[in-house]
Amino acid sequence: MRHSPDSHEANSSDFGQNTNWVFDMAATAHFCSNKSLYYSFEPVSNMQMTLAVGEKESPVEGKGIIHFLVKDKDSKFSDIILKDVLYNPNLHRNLLSGGKLERLGINFVGSKSKIHVYDKNWNELFHALRKNYMYFLKPSKYITMSKGKNDCVNLSANQVEKVNISDLWHERCCHINNDYILNTSKNISVKGLPELFGLTEDCVPCKLAKSRRVSFKSIGQIRSKHPLELLHMDLCGLLPVLSQGGNRYFFMIVDDFSRKVTVFPIRNKSDAFQTFIRFQKRAERFLNKRVISVRTDGGLKF
């Protein structure tokens, strides 16, 4: 998700009362009674809801997106994004619809005065604590629009997702060094960049980019059984200075069995094949043996 340049983070206490959420399996939709919690908001008309107390009809005045952060047990923030949250100022509590989450494939497990909420892959999104026979979710921070701004954001419909906010900005900044992005956040050098801390070192793309191939160790013995069974070849160039004969490349052939090295100066790398053909004919005629195999470093110079 992209934060708008006009969005900001605020602690739950900045919005006064009614910032917590009750996890309600009976609610048919997400409901909120605090308009200041919305990330984006649009008024609606001709929509009614039935209040649980007295079964009275009450008008729904709007709907929108609510985006808040929940701190997990490792003190890392995770994004929770709700869309189509209905607004009714007459409600006494904000309601998080368990039924609506369940339709998205969300899983619930209740144990020890808690309801744990998991995504489709059983990664924990958040948990709600029991108090007075109700289960409450207390967000740590809300992401909202600045006063006077109400721009829409691009979110897939009706979703709840968990993203580590620090890792998310690490990826947005093209996997920049963690110290750089933390200092940028601390110094408020980039508009819209939230306060970041506790970046993880478990970035898979970074690990793959820095990985090295295991070195090839010497086997300590000659594997060929006779001369010309295995030839090693390499091409050196383009050299910056011409030789006295006007050559810019050196073509080297090493016999694996005898370890004899033959070097040919050549003018162009395209001459390497014909140079090898001449060497092959002369060596096979002299030794009365055939060249069996040839090995190069795969440098694609030939």
Give the residue range(s) of CATH 3.30.420.10 domains in the chain.
Answer: 230-295
Check residue 12 and give its pLDDT.
46
Query: Which CATH number applies to 230-295?
Result: 3.30.420.10
Q: Considering the chain, what percentage of its residues have pLDDT values greater than 90?
A: 1
pLDDT interval class at 159 (50, 70, 90)? very low
- pTM, two decimal places: 0.45
pLDDT at residue 78 is higher than 80: no
pLDDT at residue 31 is higher than 60: yes
The CATH number of 21-143, from 3.30.1490, 2.40.128, 2.40.70, 1.10.10, is 2.40.70
Q: What is the pLDDT of residues 100-111, one digit of tens each?
A: 888 888 888 888
CA dihedral 150, 155, 156, 159 (to 10 degrees): -90
pLDDT interval class at 74 (50, 70, 90)? low
Between 160 and 209, the more confident residue is 209
Q: What is the pLDDT of residues 212-252, one digit of tens each?
A: 777 777 777 778 888 888 988 888 888 888 888 888 888 89
pLDDT at residue 47 is higher than 50: yes
Give the residue range(s) of CATH 2.40.70 domains in the chain.
Answer: 21-143
Check residue 213 and give its pLDDT.
73
